[in-house]
Structures are given as structure tokens and as C-alpha cells.
Amino acid sequence: MTDQTALTGPARPRGVFEQQTMSSILDLAHFRFYVIDVLSREVIHANHVQEAGPAQGSVKCHELIYQSERPCLTCPIGELLDANGQPNGRVLTSERFNEVEDCWFQLQEGTLTLSDGRTAMYSIATDISQVKQMQNSLAEAHAELTFKNQLLENLMVTDTLTGLFNRRKLDEVLSQECLRAQRTGSPMALILADIDKFKQVNDTHGHLLGDQLLVAIAGMLQQGVRQVDTVGRWGGEEFMILCPDTSLAGACTVAQSIRGMIEQHEFAVVGHKTCCFGVSEYQPGDSPQDIIRRADGALYRAKHGGRNQVCAG
């Protein structure tokens, strides 16, 4: 009769066989696997992926994984136990950066009861550094694209010389303000401003000085209005100011104030200059073209009535 023991070798306790088999299987895994005693924080098992090698009962988890003398402030053990200190069945997923290894890990952590009665926390740590790098690259690319889109949008609505809104943006804001005035019944006024004898500046001093004058007056227009008002270059030497919640009389007062400020200012090289202003107010049923037409008519009367004045239409 064949000796069965000679063929199979000495019998081994089943628990030892299972533990060794499980350890061997875990050593083949590409993720890191830890089993930690929840009371002592000692590492019961760590598979071979950990550079420090397997550790059993001789080192605490924060020492082995993070080379820290103190337990982690974000340690999840308390969230994984019930009021009696027993496993509560929860599994937590989180991401954490390991400064020691300069790597990001995704952690899946839970608790279980070992065969010897101890309560342990298990932690499955997967290196997601490449994923994080891709996410960061995508985030940077998205931020750059957003910035460029915003820059492009600003360029599309901005007058490149004065930095004010351009006619396209003024048309958009005027349409919105007319709709708002129609819906709420609140007043809204429009001011057109035109630099008197601007062509003489270009003819006498050149277009560079003419551009400098436009920039200077644009700044004074912005200085003379509220933050809620919209100032833009309507075209050439003409500017538009949109004044929400403002009556015709109120807008005329604003225009007179700006007119006086410009009249008293001495500009470089060209000296004193003046402007004409045409003012109109939204009336029920007005289209944007209606309110512009009345302001333009008032501006025409101001220019042909002696210049340097404000007229309402």
C-alpha cells in the first residue's frame, strides 16, 4: 500500500494554509493591501507592493505608509465602527496624496472581524497618479481655453482704441434695457456725445493726437457716470451712454456735468475742447431704433445750435 503521507507531505493546519494562500494571492496584486488592528494601529498584513515589504505586528500603519510618528488626522477607523467598536459594514472610498512617495492613491477602506476575534481595518490602495496627472492636464487645458474664450469675447465687444464697449455691445445692452424698461415700467435714458470740430484735430495735429483725444474723453465719460451705466464708443468721435433707472431730466443733468468737465479740461497739445450731447428717454412701445433716433435728432440740434451744449429729444 502506498504511503499517502509520503506523497502529500505532512498535514498542515487549514487556517495556516488559507492564510499563506491568501497572502500569496495578494502579493500578485498590483494594488496595495493592508490589514490593520483598529486598537493598536499595528499592521497585521501588507502585501509586497509596499516598498518597505510585508509587515506584521511590528510597525504601525502611519509609520509604515506615511513615515509619520502620529496617527493620520484623517484616519477613517472611527467612521467604520459602530457604537460598540464593531464593524458597521461601511466601505469608504477616498483619494489621498502620499507625500513620502509623491503619489496619489485611491483608498477603499472597511472593517472586518478576524478569526482570532480582533477587529481590523482593511485598506485597498490603488495608485492613481497617472489619472490625476491627466485630470490636471485636462483642467489646465480647460482653464486656458476658458481664458482664451473670455479674451476673445472681450475683444469682440471692446473698442480697441478706447477700451470702452463697441457698437455691437451697445446694441446688445440697449436692447436689454429697453426690454427691462418695458417689463418693469422703470425709466431709462440714452445719451449721445459728439466731440466738436474733431476733424480739425486730425487735420492740424494728426491722427495720433486725435486718437489720444478720443482716449482722454472716453476716460472722462466713464468718470462722469455711475457703475450701473454703460459707456461705449458709438463710432468715430461719437459715444453713447445708457442710463438705467434714469429719467430724461436726470440724464440731462449727467450730460451737463460731463459737458462742463470736458469744457474746463485742458488736453495735451490741442488745449480746450468741447462736446455736444443729445439725450432721449425710453417711451412705452419704443424700439432701440426709436430712442436712438430721438437722441440723434437732439444731438443734431445741439451741434447746429452753437455746439458745446445739451439738447433733449
The residues annotated with a catalytic role in the active site are 237
Specify the 3-state DSSP secondary structure of 126.
Answer: strand
3-state secondary structure 45-103: EECCCCCCCCCCCCCEHHHHHHCCCCCCCCCCHHHHECCCCCECCCCEEEEEEECCCCE
- Cell numbers for 135: 485630470
DSSP 237: T
As a whole number of angstroms, the distance between CA 309 and CA 84 comes to 86
In the sheet with 32-37, reading across from the earlier edge strand, the strands are 43-46, 32-37, 119-127, 103-113, 92-98
Give helix 248-264 / helix 207-223 axis angle, nearest 10°.
130
Q: Is 166 in contact with 159 (CB distance < 8 Å)?
A: yes
Half-sphere exposure of 85 (CA within 13 A, CB side): 7
Pairwise CA distance, residues 33 & 3, whole Å: 41
User: What is the distance of C-alpha 122 from the center of its chain?
Assistant: 38
**Run of H or E including 65:** helix 61-66
- Taken in order 245, 250, 252, 257, the sign of the CA dihedral is negative
Q: Is 186 helix (H, G, I), strand (E, B) or coil?
A: coil
Helix/strand/coil for 192? strand
Dihedral, 47, 52, 53, 54 alpha carbons, nearest 10: -60
Q: What's the grid cell of residue 268?
A: 495735451
The SS3 of residue 5 is helix
